[in-house]
Every structure is written in C-alpha cells, then in structure tokens.
Amino acid sequence: MEFCSIRSLEAVCLGSSLGLAGLFYYIYRNKRKTVDKLNEAPQLAVDGELVNLLNQTPGKCLQYVVIEGAVQPVGEPLRSQFQEGTVGVIEKLVLQEHKLVWNSFARTWTDSERVLHQRVNAVPFNIVGSDQAVVRVLCPLEATGLKMEIIHEKFHQANFGFTDIIGQYLSGEKPKGQLETEEMLKVGATLTGVGELILDTDRIVKLRPPSNGAEYFLSTSDFEALRLEQEGEVMVWRVLASVCALVGVAAVLWVARRYYRTLQEKWEMDRLRREFRRISEEVDDGRSAGEEPLENSCVICLSNPRSCVLLDCGHVCCCFSCYQALPQPTCPICRQNIRRVVPLYQA
C-alpha cells in the first residue's frame, strides 16, 4: 500500500547499516575465535625438552603453541642495500609515489600515495632458544603481525619547471616525490611465533601455519603485547558492529514511527469522513423542500452546505468534499495553513 512504502533514503540507510553490521559481526566473531585460541595456546620454551615433548605427542605435532626466541639464519643472511653491516632474514623494499590530487568536490588538494615497486626477500631462519635449541620457521611471509624495523627511509623530492607547473594545474596532479624505504627482520631480533609445531623426519622442530585453519602469527613483540593487540582489534570490530546495528534499529524505528503516524492520520481522516457523512445525512433529512440559502453554501462548489471548521484560522467556508480536494492545505479565504479540521454542527 502507498501509505506504508519505504522511501529510497530509508531503504539505503536500512540496507547498508544492516549489511555492514552483519559483515562487521562476522569479522568480530572470527577475531574473537582467534583471541580465544591465543588464550588457550600453551607457551613452550625453546630447549632440548621440546624434542622429547613432540616424541611423546601423537603424530609428533602440537596444533597451536607459542614459542619465543632469537632469529638466526640457516645459511647466509640477507645484507642491507643501504645500511652497511646490517643483516637480516627478511627484507622488504618499497618505492612509493607521493603527489597532490585536486579534489573538485572539496575544492582543495589532497595527498595521494601509490606503490610503484615492492619486493620481499627472505632466507630460511630459525628461532633459537636459551640452550641453543632451534625451531625452523616455515612460510614466514604467510604470517600475520610481522612488523619489521625500518632501517632506511629517504624521500626524493620532485623537480619541475614552469611548464611542468602549468601542466600540473591543468591535469589536477602535483607530484611531490618518491619515498624509498627498506624494512628488515634483523638477525638476533627477538621473535614470537604462534602456530603448529611439528617434529620432522630429520628430527628438526619446525613451526608452520596451523593445519586447522587457525591464524599464524610472527611478531617482534612479546606474546602479551600480541594478545592485547588482538584484543583491541576485537573491541574495534565489536564497536563497529554495534554502531551499525544501532543505526539499523534506529532506521527501523523511524520507518515504524512514520508508518504509525500515517496510520493515525488515515484513521482520523476515516473518522472525519464518517462524521461528515452522518452530519450531511442529518442535514439532508432536516432540510426543507426549498433550496439551500446561498450564504450557507460552500464557497468552492456552491452546491453543498458548509460543513467544516478550518483551524487555526476558524473560517467556515467549504464542505468536507472540497476540503479534501484542496491542492494545498490552506484556507480558501485567508490562505493560512490548515492544521486540522473539525465538523460543523448546526442546530
């Protein structure tokens, strides 16, 4: 029905808020499960007892454990291309372009970044414990939370002449320059690993991504900092899901309120229509055989008697049928807005 239709803006607001709430809740649930697994994961020391523990475990596998130790390469380490004497096991080189782009909507220049080149190099490495026991780390590039140290950062300023400046204003782009960075996981750095621990056939303990689908972590922070960071992400997604859900509920309540007010107006109009019909029938029954006096006729149709009072102005000038047919809710006499209408009872 027309009176209960949802407007386009309300439909967009309701659909987007509920959709985002569902998406954020899904992410929140996955993050919550990850944090629960982190809280349940045992923390093992990297020492000689680790091999004996895995030998006694069925399948020689511990599905989700936490270990911590120092980074040592298996063979030759990677050497920094910019810092002499700096060695590591994972190296990330990034070249970014920075420029200003004209935003025609905001009427201002905004910063824009674009990665021109990115390369990651890695060599096999171990996590070494207190008594020189080692754990081989597998698939380190698949891990989450690995934040490496920035050992080189240099910004190359863009140079341009007068004709370049004119071209920039015409194109809407102003190059600022290029940022060159090098990140590295250094040899000797403390590393926390969370994953599946196995004892290989060559009796080497290895840490790999969990086979049960749990999240694989490598972090230069300690385990407590890693856990608190994940707890913070859980809280963020929970707040986002709650806010979107509240917006969706507010949109539903707004539509329901408008629908209820429309129903109230419809019920009031039906009541007035019945009341005017009853009064009209009473007037017709009590009317004499002569014609209706002209001064009591509706000023619009000049045929029906005046049967309603227009408020707030108080004019009695038309019948209810003509009032319903008014293109705008304004009084035909004084053009004041009509807030409500009541029947006219004539003795």
Length of the chain: 347
Mean pLDDT score, 254-270:
85
Which of 126, 133, 124, 129 shows the shortest CA–CA distance to 69?
129
Q: Where are the beta strands (DSSP E) in 209-286?
A: 217-219
Q: Which helix (H) or strand (E) holds 233?
A: helix 223-286
User: Is residue 88 a contact partner of residue 80, using CB atoms and an 8 Å limit?
Assistant: yes
Sign of CA dihedral 323, 324, 327, 328: positive
Return the CATH superfamily for domain 290-347. Zinc/RING finger domain, C3HC4 (zinc finger) (3.30.40.10)
Task: Sketch the domain layout of the chain as residue ranges.
Answer: 41-221, 290-347
d(CA 124, CA 103): 47
User: Is residue 65 a contact partner of residue 135, using CB atoms and an 8 Å limit?
Assistant: no
Q: What is the pLDDT of residues 7-64, one digit of tens each?
A: 787 788 888 888 999 999 999 999 999 999 999 999 998 888 888 888 888 888 998 9
| SS3 at position 34 | helix
- From 61-75, 107-121, 229-243, 296-310, the region with the lowest mean pLDDT: 296-310
Q: What is the pLDDT of residues 216-225, one digit of tens each?
A: 999 999 999 9
Q: Report which DSSP code applies to 44.
A: -
Q: What is the pLDDT of residues 75-90, one digit of tens each?
A: 899 999 898 889 999 9
Task: Tell whether the model's pLDDT for residue 1 goes beyond 60.
Answer: no
d(CA 346, CA 337): 25
Q: Report which DSSP code applies to 155.
A: E
d(CA 345, CA 341): 13
Residue 129: which pLDDT band, with cuts at 50, 70 and 90? confident
Task: Tell whether the model's pLDDT for residue 337 goes beyond 60.
Answer: yes
State residue 306's pLDDT score.
Answer: 83
- From 134-138, 160-164, 203-207, 254-258, the region with the lowest mean pLDDT: 160-164
d(CA 89, CA 126): 10
d(CA 57, CA 255): 60
Tokens 């329901």 belong to residue: 256
Q: Which helix (H) or strand (E) holds 6?
A: none
Cβ within 8 Å of residue 25, ≥6 positions away: 241, 245
**Alpha-carbon Rg for the chain in angstroms:** 39
d(CA 138, CA 119): 19
